[in-house]
Amino acid sequence: MNHESLSYRIFKVGNASLLILIVVAMVFPYLNVLAYALNDPMDSQFGGLTFYPRELSFANFEMLLTNSAIIQSTLISVLRVVIGTAFALLIQYTCAYAFTLKGLQGKGIILIFLMIPMYFGGGLIPVYLLYSKMHLLNNFLVYILPVSFSLYNMVIIRSFLYTIPDSLAESARIDGANEFVIMLRIYVPLSMPILAVMALWTAVYHWNDWTTTLYFITDQKLNTLQYILMQILKEGERMASMFQEAIRAGITSGANTQPQVTPQAIRAANIILTTIPIVIVYPFLQKHFVKGITLGAVKE
């Protein structure tokens, strides 16, 4: 027999209602963008779309995916995400493990040295000159090396490592294991939650970034997908602006020269294309996400 009190039943109904509202508030904008991306671009100009397309059309995605630069830029973006994420995790994790060692001398001085770039920077021009001297301009490594270390991520990983009992490492040292073996055989398997979180954060950054290409890359073979999509979006806005100017000037009637796609429709398709990989990957990492962030936050 159910002996739940009236107040508890009211709480459950209110809690469920609040969670449903939160889900709707988060999911509806994405479904709305998806509706615009799958709707006929000319029809989208009239607005009124909710969470399903009024006139189904794949013209927006066809324009993006038939661009000759898309395939090459997608390959560059995938390589950047895979290599950049793996290298960043290697650097940050080994550094975090080193800071957990009691025998490391000068931890405070090293931390202060690493904290300085978080608050002080020379700006874009000194960075450009530095990359030029390091031969990173028009080099794939410009996507990898400058962002391979993050003090913020390293501190989070270090906090997580402090939750692992020291007795595990001490017993391994007694058996003759060196620090590399201890880190690889003991700490890394126990650090999967925090590694999953850091991998997600780093991969999202690499996947979404296009300013690095804008500032430091002129070789079209090294363009990333986000940079190409940004260019397509800007080109669509420019063509739409030119078309509107022509209409106002009376140069064209607009009947036969109206663009087949619109900036709004291209923007929607752009958002869907760039978020699909994250939407696919996130569910597999979600079970580690909360644990990885909070496990090292409480000390006994």
Q: What is residue 294's predicted lDDT score, i.e. its pLDDT?
A: 56
**Mean pLDDT value of segment 152-176:** 88
**Mean pLDDT value of segment 162-170:** 87
9, 27, 57 — which closes off a domain?
A: 57
Instruction: Answer whether residue 74 is part of any domain.
Output: yes
Least confident of 56-60, 90-94, 122-126, 248-252: 248-252
**Mean pLDDT value of segment 47-75:** 81
Q: What is residue 258's predicted lDDT score, i.e. its pLDDT?
A: 47
Residue/partner pairs of 296-300 with CB below 8 Å, 24 or more apart: 296/156, 296/159, 296/160, 296/161, 296/162, 296/163, 296/194, 297/159, 299/162
CATH code assigned at 234 = 1.10.3720.10
Least confident of 70-84, 94-108, 216-230, 286-300: 286-300
Same domain, 2 and 83: no
Check whether 248 has a pLDDT greater than 70.
Answer: no
Given pLDDT bands bounded at 50, 70 and 90, which one contains residue 91? very high
**Cα separations in angstroms, 4 against 11, 76, 171:** 11, 58, 51
Q: What is residue 273's predicted lDDT score, i.e. its pLDDT?
A: 81
Instruction: Answer whether residue 140 is part of any domain.
Output: yes
**Mean pLDDT value of segment 123-147:** 92
Q: What is residue 149's predicted lDDT score, i.e. its pLDDT?
A: 92
Same domain, 66 and 207: yes
Check whether 253 has a pLDDT greater than 50.
Answer: no
DSSP letter, residue 176: T
User: Rounded distance, CA 78 to CA 87, Å?
Assistant: 14
User: Rounded distance, CA 255 to CA 86, Å?
Assistant: 52
Instruction: Answer whether residue 50 is part of any domain.
Output: yes
Domain count, the chain: 2
Q: What is residue 237's predicted lDDT score, i.e. its pLDDT?
A: 65
Asked if residues 146 and 134 have their Cβ atoms less than 8 Å apart, the reply is no
Given pLDDT bands bounded at 50, 70 and 90, which one contains residue 46? confident
**Mean pLDDT value of segment 118-138:** 89
Given pLDDT bands bounded at 50, 70 and 90, which one contains residue 255? very low
Same domain, 22 and 153: no
Same domain, 51 and 72: no
Task: Provide, rounded to the nearest whole percent, the portion of the chain with pLDDT above 90.
Answer: 27
Instruction: Answer whether residue 282 is part of any domain.
Output: yes
pTM of the model as a whole: 0.76
Given pLDDT bands bounded at 50, 70 and 90, which one contains residue 129? very high
Given pLDDT bands bounded at 50, 70 and 90, which one contains residue 212? very high
Compute how many other C-beta atoms are within 10 angstroms of the C-beta atom of residue 273: 19
Same domain, 141 and 17: no
User: Rounded distance, CA 209 to CA 213, Å?
Assistant: 8
Check whether 297 has a pLDDT greater than 60.
Answer: no
Same domain, 84 and 47: no
End-to-end CA distance of the chain: give it in Å, rounded: 41
Same domain, 196 and 222: yes
User: Rounded distance, CA 144 to CA 49, Å?
Assistant: 41
Q: State which residues form the domain around 41.
A: 1-57
Same domain, 49 and 83: no
**Mean pLDDT value of segment 260-280:** 78
Task: Provide, rounded to the nearest whole percent, the portion of the chain with pLDDT above 70.
Answer: 85
User: Rounded distance, CA 143 to CA 137, Å?
Assistant: 10
Same domain, 86 and 46: no
Q: What is residue 176's predicted lDDT score, i.e. its pLDDT?
A: 86
DSSP letter, residue 183: I
User: Rounded distance, CA 33 to CA 31, Å?
Assistant: 5
Same domain, 155 and 10: no
Asked if residues 286 and 220 have their Cβ atoms less than 8 Å apart, the reply is no
Same domain, 257 and 155: yes
Same domain, 227 and 265: yes
Q: What is residue 106's predicted lDDT score, i.e. its pLDDT?
A: 82
Instruction: Answer whether residue 104 is part of any domain.
Output: no
Instruction: Answer whether residue 199 is part of any domain.
Output: yes
Check whether 207 has a pLDDT greater than 60.
Answer: yes
Given pLDDT bands bounded at 50, 70 and 90, which one contains residue 122? confident
Instruction: Answer whether residue 172 is part of any domain.
Output: no
**Mean pLDDT value of segment 254-261:** 51
Instruction: Answer whether residue 100 is part of any domain.
Output: no
Average pLDDT of the chain?
A: 82
Q: What is residue 245's predicted lDDT score, i.e. its pLDDT?
A: 66
